[in-house]
Structure 1
Amino acid sequence: MPAPATSDSAAPARQTAVDKALVLLKSLAEEDGDIGVSELARRARLTKSTAFRLLGILQRNELVERVGSNYRLGTQLFEMGNRVYGPTPQLLQDRVQPYLADLYELTHETVHLAVLRGTEIVYVNRIQGHRVTRSPSRIGARLPAYCTGVGKALLAFDHDAAEAAVAAGLPARTEYTLTDPGRFHAALGHIRRDGIAYDRQEATLGLTCVAVPVLGPSGRPVAALSVAGSDHRFDPARHAPALRRVAHAASRAITTRPAA
Structure 2
Amino acid sequence: MTRSTPAPRDERTAVDKAMSLLNAFGNDAFVGVGVSELARRASLSKSTAFRLLATLQNNGAVERAGNAYRLGKMIQDLGSTQEDALQGRMRDALTPFLADLYELTKQTVHLAVLQGTDVVYLNKLYGHLQVRSPSRIGGRAPAYCTAVGKVLLAYDSDGAEQVMRSEMLAWTPTTITDPEKFRAELQEVRSTNLAYDREEILTGLNCVAAPIFGPNGKPVAAMSVSGPVGKFMPESQATVLRKVCYAASRAVAAISGQQHPTKRQAPKSA
Q: TM-score, normalised by structure 2?
A: 0.66
Structure 2 counterpart of 1:185, from 183, 189, 192: 183
Q: CA offsets per residue over residues 68-123 of structure 1, 9 Å max, x none?
A: xxxxx89xx765x12xxx32211111111110000000000000000101111011
Alignment of 1:6-21 (within 5 A): 10-12=14-16
Task: Give 1:20's aligned residue.
Answer: none
Alignment of 1:155-234 (within 5 A): 155-234=153-232
Amino acid at match of 1:185: R
Alignment of 1:137-152 (within 5 A): 137-152=135-150
Amino acid at match of 2:146: T
Matches of 2:235 and 2:14, distance apart in 1: 53
Amino acid at match of 2:85: P
Residues 234/10 of structure 1: CA separation in 2 closer, same or farther (3 Å cut): closer
Matches of 2:256 and 2:154, distance apart in 1: 27
- Asked whether the 8 Å contact 2:80–2:139 carries over to 1, the reply is no
Matches of 2:200 and 2:14, distance apart in 1: 39
Please report the RMSD computed on the Cα atoms of aligned residues, expressed in angstroms.
Answer: 2.3
Matches of 2:162 and 2:120, distance apart in 1: 17
Cα distance, 1:12 vs. partner?
Answer: 3.0
- Asked whether the 8 Å contact 2:113–2:221 carries over to 1, the reply is yes
Task: Give 1:61's aligned residue.
Answer: none
Which secondary structure does the structure 2 equivalent of 1:198 belong to?
A: strand
Matches of 2:236 and 2:206, distance apart in 1: 12
Task: Give 2:238's aligned residue.
Answer: 240
Q: CA offsets per residue over residues 114-155 of structure 1, 9 Å max, x none?
A: 010111101110000012111011111111100100000000
Which secondary structure does the structure 2 equivalent of 1:136 belong to?
A: coil
Q: CA offsets per residue over residues 4-52 of structure 1, 9 Å max, x none?
A: xxxx955439x9xxxxxxxxxxxxxxxxxxxxxxxxxxx99xxxxxxxx
Residues 119/10 of structure 1: CA separation in 2 closer, same or farther (3 Å cut): closer
Find out whether 1:109 has 2:113 as its counterpart. Answer: no
Q: Which structure 1 residue ranges, 5 or more long, are not aligned?
A: 1-7, 16-42, 45-72
Alignment of 1:61-140 (within 5 A): 81-82=82-83, 86-140=84-138
Amino acid at match of 1:244: R
Matches of 1:198 and 1:12, distance apart in 2: 41
- Asked whether the 8 Å contact 2:116–2:159 carries over to 1, the reply is yes
Amino acid at match of 2:233: D
Residues 132/164 of structure 1: CA separation in 2 closer, same or farther (3 Å cut): same
Cα distance, 1:257 vs. partner?
Answer: 1.5
Matches of 1:229 and 1:10, distance apart in 2: 39
Matches of 1:10 and 1:234, distance apart in 2: 44
Residues 78/145 of structure 1: CA separation in 2 closer, same or farther (3 Å cut): closer
Matches of 1:241 and 1:10, distance apart in 2: 53
Task: Give 2:30's aligned residue.
Answer: none
Count matched residues.
191
Cα distance, 1:179 vs. partner?
Answer: 1.1
Task: Give 2:43's aligned residue.
Answer: none
Task: Give 1:56's aligned residue.
Answer: none
Matches of 1:9 and 1:201, distance apart in 2: 39
Cα distance, 1:171 vs. partner?
Answer: 1.4
Matches of 2:234 and 2:13, distance apart in 1: 52
Cα distance, 1:192 vs. partner?
Answer: 0.5
Amino acid at match of 1:162: A
Amino acid at match of 1:110: T
Q: TM-score, normalised by structure 1?
A: 0.69
**Seq. identity, %:** 47
Q: Which structure 2 residue ranges, 5 or more long, are not aligned?
A: 1-11, 20-54, 57-76, 258-270
Amino acid at match of 1:12: D
Amino acid at match of 1:188: L
